[in-house]
Amino acid sequence: MIIRRFVFILCLGMAFAMFTSSQADAQSCANPPGNVADIFYSSSFDVFQGCTQGMGWVALHGKTGYTTSPPSPTNCPSIGDTCDDGSYYIGDIGAGAVYATNESFESLQTWNDGNTNYSNISGTNLTDGESNTATLVTADSDDVTGGVQPHDAAIYCDGLNAHGRSDWYLPALYELDLFWNNGAPVANIDESGSSPDGVYWASSQKFSGLAHIKAFSINYQGDLSKDSEIAVRCVRNEPPAPGSDCANPAGNFGDIFYNNIFDAIQGCTQGAGWVAFHNKTPDPCTGTSTSPTIGETCTDGSIYAGDSPDGNVPMYTTQNNEPGTYSWNDGTLSPTPDTAMENCTDGPPGTATTCQTGEANTAFLVGATGEPDYPYFAAESCDELLDHGHDDWYLPARDELNVLYTNKNEGDLNGTFPTFRNYWSSSELNDDFSRHIDFDDGSEPIADKRLEFTVRCVRR
């Protein structure tokens, strides 16, 4: 695809001012034919190229790591649709689309081999069931009995051949969340909530004797002892279909975008999403073209916590939690209004924008556009904060809070999140509950808005 964009050429007009009109119009590039200053996206090599007089087509960025893969299931564009191979499309997590077997391949399994000599399995997480399963199929589930005892649920998915595929795995907790889409179960998942058929294993360990589970009658998540026999539904993950690879902002392969936050011109690729065509401008934290590392303390004393999912821009946090604890609302049980904010019911990453937009959520809750008769103590504590020379702090949205949890042990962040703490986000679940994260293991047990939890403020 050759791109000749008037606005883009205007932006680069000074750089090409040395060319005469006849030079600029001359066809200087072949395979495919192109004129000087044209930009071409090669889908075969996943690279943007610019047409020059002296060297023909030249690459505008490094390799993306893209490799071709077998065709993805088709005819299932919407979450919950049945694909042509009989599997279900249940949503996206990370950079890939997630598919589930149909209900005929469900099985009742124990998480371990049914014994109570529990092993503590290091290396499982809440987001990547594929890596969890790879760990579990070779790990010993029993610290006492000699030899290697199996993890039955993970081994069942790892050995499954269904819908013409053999790369199934036991979903991690957040992948299991995808079966609940905008307040309703999908993929004919059992929504009775009754054990054993209506309670499902995740591949994520809670503690040595417990693993995470999910029941879809009320979108409940919790944990059970590993020797319990409950339901298993296997999933698989594939790269997204061409044309839907780039997010924040959404873009198709070959699109060009000017990112005013980073002052960079970027192109949408299959292997690396948005890539920059040039060196970065100085970072506000480091003062150089080098980005800060996660956990690095900036010159103002704040700490770079990673990128906010609200626009994929740098997010900074304070060096400490806010003193004390705060209720999400004013501490009362009734009334507890369901505000006009869209409810954050799934993920992370969540489907609703309010799962990512903590700055907008906080502005709403403190009364800019919200309910003036109901103070929201957690949000107000951040809105009123003046720290590190800034007054634009806010209560992070659930997905932003998850970035803090993921990076809590990185660099100077390490040690600033005390153990046994639940942290409020600014994302609402419904009239009674709001989203929070247990920073011991990243889980999100249900809790009502009047409970007092810890608060950590962020800014972008």
Co-location of 38 and 136 in the same domain? no
Co-location of 454 and 359 in the same domain? yes
Cα(285)–Cα(294) distance, integer angstroms: 11
Cα(291)–Cα(316) distance, integer angstroms: 13
Structural domain contains residue 371: yes
Co-location of 319 and 412 in the same domain? yes
Structural domain contains residue 157: yes
Co-location of 103 and 51 in the same domain? no
Q: What was the pLDDT predicted at 417?
A: 92
Task: Find where tokens 């992370």 sit.
Answer: 348
Co-location of 427 and 320 in the same domain? yes
Cα(424)–Cα(420) distance, integer angstroms: 14
Cα(357)–Cα(395) distance, integer angstroms: 10
Q: What was the pLDDT predicted at 25?
A: 46
Co-location of 153 and 51 in the same domain? no
Cα(194)–Cα(175) distance, integer angstroms: 21
Q: What was the pLDDT predicted at 251?
A: 81
Co-location of 46 and 135 in the same domain? no
Q: Half-sphere exposure of residue 87, counting CA atoms within 13 Å on the CB side?
A: 27
Q: What residues make up the domain containing 164?
A: 88-238
Model's pTM, two decimal places?
Answer: 0.48
Co-location of 427 and 295 in the same domain? yes
Cα(374)–Cα(34) distance, integer angstroms: 62
Q: What was the pLDDT predicted at 283?
A: 67
- Structure tokens of 168? 């199934």
Co-location of 353 and 443 in the same domain? yes
C-alpha closest to that of 216 among 236, 189, 240, 197: 189
Q: What was the pLDDT predicted at 108?
A: 96
Number of domains in the chain: 3
Cα(172)–Cα(421) distance, integer angstroms: 22
- Structure tokens of 117? 């000599």
**C-beta pairs of 293-300 under 8 Å, 24+ apart in sequence:** 293/410, 293/411, 294/407, 294/410, 294/411, 294/413, 295/407, 295/410, 295/411, 295/412, 295/413, 295/414, 296/411, 296/412, 297/411, 297/412, 300/388, 300/389, 300/390
Digitized pLDDT (tens) for each residue of the chain, 460 residues in all: 444 433 332 233 322 222 333 344 456 788 788 888 889 888 767 788 888 888 888 888 777 766 555 567 888 888 999 999 999 999 887 657 899 999 999 999 999 999 998 999 988 888 899 999 999 999 999 988 888 999 999 999 999 999 999 999 999 998 998 998 767 889 999 988 888 999 999 999 998 899 999 998 877 888 999 999 999 999 999 864 444 567 777 788 888 988 776 677 888 887 778 888 876 566 668 766 567 899 999 988 999 999 999 988 899 999 999 999 999 988 876 666 778 889 998 888 889 999 999 999 999 888 854 455 568 899 999 999 999 888 899 999 999 999 999 999 999 999 999 878 899 999 999 888 999 999 999 998 878 889 999 999 999 8
- Structure tokens of 207? 């503690």
Structural domain contains residue 68: no
Structural domain contains residue 245: no
Co-location of 298 and 432 in the same domain? yes
Co-location of 94 and 37 in the same domain? no
Structural domain contains residue 256: no
Q: What was the pLDDT predicted at 261?
A: 63
Structural domain contains residue 204: yes
Task: Find where tokens 């087509």 sit.
Answer: 57
Structural domain contains residue 224: yes
Co-location of 92 and 207 in the same domain? yes
Amino acid in the structure at residue 397: A
- Structure tokens of 241? 């279909």
Structural domain contains residue 261: no
Give Cα separations from 435 to 6, 350, 402 (angstroms). Answer: 45, 11, 11
Give Cα separations from 169 to 85, 156, 267, 333 (angstroms). Answer: 17, 8, 33, 41
